[in-house]
Structure 1
């Protein structure tokens, strides 16, 4: 997947221009209004995500499950959480993405080692 984020972050004028759009998009997505953090939205079917979830601390894993169940309840009731319970910029920090990146690097290294061939030198 190609990301424009590094390109935008390197250019302060473009970063400043894109921030209002970014904030609007996050607000329009609505996941924070249901008590979810961005990392709660990763699809659990991916192997790297499954491995990363197993590496979470018990406290973080419990909080994640609580947030997802609370959001599901809000969805069933067609309601949003009270505004004081919404997730904000300060609390919506990545907790799973760094672990996923590490796992993906480990899986890529494993695949590279599994595909390695040994070439014997002739004496």
Structure 2
């Protein structure tokens, strides 16, 4: 599965760009509303992809349980048309990527496997 393009690497190399984009990124994350339901950004990754399902299988049991709990709680809140109390919202420092690094690693592994599968050996005479 291709990983979504990101400006992060370009922004990190240019501090002025990072300073300019950080407030915009924070505003967008808060406006998206997933934190008000106790979710993390990686909880929003759709599970209908074989690669994502394999990545979910690589999660630790605790992280997997926590993900299911957050998603079920958010679903219940959505059905009730409610938000969590502000004290229970996901804080920006808690909104860390836990699935994206696994997906990136799987993409690297897939490229490496493809390179090895198409490897040709030349004999020197």
Q: Which runs of 5+ in 2 are unaligned?
A: none
Q: Quick check: 1:65 aligned with 2:55?
A: no
1:49-83 Cα deviation digits (max 9, x unpaired): 21111011111100100000011111111111111
**Aligned pairs, how many?**
122
Question: 1:43 maps to what in 2?
Answer: 46
Q: Quick check: 1:18 aligned with 2:15?
A: no
C-alpha RMSD of the superposition: 1.7
Q: Secondary structure at the match of 1:89?
A: coil
Q: Write the distance in 2 (CA, Å) between the matches of 1:122 and 1:9.
A: 46
Q: TM-score, normalised by structure 1?
A: 0.88
Q: CA deviation at 1:46?
A: 2.5
Q: TM-score, normalised by structure 2?
A: 0.86
Q: Which runs of 5+ in 1 are unaligned?
A: none
